[in-house]
Amino acid sequence: RGDCDRNLSMQCCDRPKNTNVRISLPAVCFVWQIVMIILFGIFIRYDQESDAHWAEYRKFQNISSDIENDFYFRYPSFQDVHVMIFVGFGFLMTFLKRYSFSAVGFNFLIAAFGLQWALLMQGWFQSLDPMDGKIKISMESLINADFCVASCLIAYGAVLGKLSPVQLMVMTLFGITLYAVDEFIILNLIHARDAGGSMVIHTFGAYYGLSISWMLYRPNLDQSKRLNGSVYHSDVFAMIGTLFLWMFWPSFNSAITDHGDGQHRAAINTYLALASTVLTTVAISSLSQKTGKLDMVHIQNSTLAGGVAVGTAAEFMLMPYGSLIIGFCCGIISTLGYIYITPFMEKYLKIQDTCGIHNLHAMPGVIGGIVGAVTAAAASEGVYGKAGLINTFDFTGKWKDMVPSRQGGHQAAGLCIALCFGVGGGIIVGCILRMPIWGDAPDDNCFDDELYWELPEDEESIPPILEDNNHMRNRDV
């Protein structure tokens, strides 16, 4: 009878879709990985701190100890960022009752591909050695690659449950490419500062994903609404993701800031902003229900908004109370977003946002960009000290005559560019993804692992021991 139901449903569905990715997925993985190997072979080498010549370089540069290798400044933060990318984003998206394999598995796949492509793209734009035409990578490159990947995983949140793995790979390929250009313009050409990536990671990534979701609008998505929700233990799994993101966000925002006080201050600011966000999220979540009950969706997502919003300004002299204020506001705005804006966007703007990234990344990212612009414009030698101002805003070389007020303008310009790249890029890539060749899910079967995964039997009870083993129909492993 189940099969019969399914057949009927297939008939009334206007376009029966083929979700077989047996040719396309292996092809994409193999071809792209081989291309990566070739390009890495041509372009990528170790930099002087990870090369075996370090011993000579160290002596030459009069560096007193191995501990001053950048590895020891960055590695703990790198590992925390790595956990955020794979466990944080991966598990945060396991909240759907039957999409946990895809959430954590496709997150794994696109992150593993994305970081390789990011090393190349970011390398070409930012660290190509003019002497030999090679990209020299170090720990900082790996962190930047993880950052770049984060923007695509944010975009994944908007389309969660609706795209095939092949589409996700294509989305990642273009996302990384756009990110690298975007980042080059914002950080290098207009010299905006963006330590935690409120603009380049969150604003760009969120609008990129939302635009793709808008282009791929599914009017009949409510045919899958039985699967678009959580069960008790899938919500607990999602809390693993939430907490690892929340705990390690100070590492995210401080991972590539200046050695010394820069990393120290960015970690403190982020820690405080996040703490403050939790309280206002709980407050609004409780207020929004008739009996004051809390909603897991808010706790899983909005508690993180403070970390997003403090991203750009994390290394600035925000002051501890400033961080708390940012977190305070973002907890409110993000939770209200889940209550009012997400349903509004779905109904009137035709944007289906599975994870609510508009509330967690887009709005807080824009707020973060604005905060960055304002605090940069307000910076003064009194607060930062002469050397501190130069270090924090990198007023050196070509930018040595920059002043804080103009820096604020550049920050604002950076925010606009991130927005444009996100929306524009998303629309173009959305067009590409609308082609009917990618094997995406039919409207009545979204949010379902069954399309792309061999699933184990469903029941959880232990079958009794049978006399006749031939009668058993359990999966053979």
Please report, as residue ranges, which positions from 386 to 415 form the binding site for a second copy (by CB under 8 A).
Answer: 386-389, 391-392
Q: Does 83 bind a second copy (CB under 8 A)?
A: yes
With H, G, I as helix, E, B as strand and everything else as coil, classify residue 352. Answer: coil
Beta bridge partners of 46: 137
Q: Kindly state the smallest distance separating residue 201's Cβ from a second copy, in Å.
A: 19
Cβ nearer to a second copy, comparing 252 with 421: 252
Whole-angstrom distance, CA of residue 257 vs CA of residue 237:
32
Q: Which stretch binds a second copy (CB under 8 A): 182-190, 198-206, 378-386, 402-410?
A: 378-386
234 near 94, Cβ under 8 Å? yes
Cβ nearer to a second copy, comparing 137 with 433: 137
Q: Kindly state the smallest distance separating residue 100's Cβ from a second copy, in Å.
A: 5
With H, G, I as helix, E, B as strand and everything else as coil, classify residue 49. Answer: coil
Q: Does 437 bind a second copy (CB under 8 A)?
A: no
* Binding to a second copy, residues 281-300 (CB under 8 A): 282-284, 286-287, 289-297, 299
Q: Does 165 bind a second copy (CB under 8 A)?
A: yes
Cβ nearer to a second copy, comparing 304 with 362: 304
* Binding to a second copy, residues 38-77 (CB under 8 A): 38, 40-41, 44-46, 49-56, 58, 64-73, 75-77
Q: Which stretch binds a second copy (CB under 8 A): 187-195, 211-219, 411-419, 453-461?
A: 453-461
Q: Kindly state the smallest distance separating residue 427's Cβ from a second copy, in Å.
A: 26
Q: Which of 62, 347, 348, 465 binds a second copy (CB under 8 A)?
A: 465
Q: Which of 15, 22, 347, 400 binds a second copy (CB under 8 A)?
A: 22
Indicate the angle between helix axes 404-433 and 204-215, nearest 10 degrees. Answer: 30
328 near 334, Cβ under 8 Å? no
With H, G, I as helix, E, B as strand and everything else as coil, classify residue 71. Answer: helix
* Binding to a second copy, residues 217-246 (CB under 8 A): 222-223, 225-237, 239-240, 243-244, 246
308 near 325, Cβ under 8 Å? no
Cβ nearer to a second copy, comparing 231 with 420: 231
Q: Which of 92, 104, 176, 362 binds a second copy (CB under 8 A)?
A: 104
Whole-angstrom distance, CA of residue 227 vs CA of residue 447:
6
Q: Kindly state the smallest distance separating residue 185's Cβ from a second copy, in Å.
A: 26
The strand pair at 44-46 and 135-137 is best described as parallel
Amino acid at site 46 = Y
Q: Which of 150, 168, 210, 274 binds a second copy (CB under 8 A)?
A: 274
Q: Which stretch binds a second copy (CB under 8 A): 194-202, 358-366, 385-393, 411-419?
A: 385-393
Q: Does 321 bind a second copy (CB under 8 A)?
A: yes
Write out the H or E segment, with its range, that includes residue 82.
helix 70-83
Whole-angstrom distance, CA of residue 429 vs CA of residue 432:
5
Whole-angstrom distance, CA of residue 73 vs CA of residue 259:
7
Q: Which of 319, 378, 403, 437 binds a second copy (CB under 8 A)?
A: 319
Q: Which stretch binds a second copy (CB under 8 A): 125-133, 191-199, 270-278, 407-415?
A: 270-278
Q: Does 385 bind a second copy (CB under 8 A)?
A: yes
Q: Kindly state the smallest distance separating residue 377's Cβ from a second copy, in Å.
A: 16
Whole-angstrom distance, CA of residue 466 vs CA of residue 279:
54
Cβ nearer to a second copy, comparing 171 with 419: 171
Q: Which of 195, 215, 216, 267 binds a second copy (CB under 8 A)?
A: 267
Angle subtended at Cα 352 by Cα 221 and Cα 200, rounded to the nearest 5 degrees: 150
What is the per-residue burial (b if ≥16 Cβ within 10 Å, else e) of 151-175?
bbbbbbbbbbbbbbbbbbbbbbbbb
Q: Does 80 bind a second copy (CB under 8 A)?
A: yes
Q: Which of 128, 181, 268, 377 binds a second copy (CB under 8 A)?
A: 268
Q: Which stretch binds a second copy (CB under 8 A): 137-145, 170-178, 182-190, 401-409?
A: 137-145
Q: Kindly state the smallest distance separating residue 183's Cβ from a second copy, in Å.
A: 20
Whole-angstrom distance, CA of residue 84 vs CA of residue 252:
8
* Binding to a second copy, residues 185-204 (CB under 8 A): none
Measured CA to CA in angstroms, residue 384 lies from 41, 64, 142, 191, 255 at distances of 44, 29, 30, 19, 21
Question: What are the structure tokens assigned to 96, written together?
Answer: 């759907």
Whole-angstrom distance, CA of residue 476 vs CA of residue 349:
47
Q: Does 132 bind a second copy (CB under 8 A)?
A: no
- Burial grade of 388 (CB within 10 A; 0-12, 13-18, 19 or more): middle
Q: What DSSP letter does each residue of 403-414 carry, written as one string?
A: -HHHHHHHHHHH
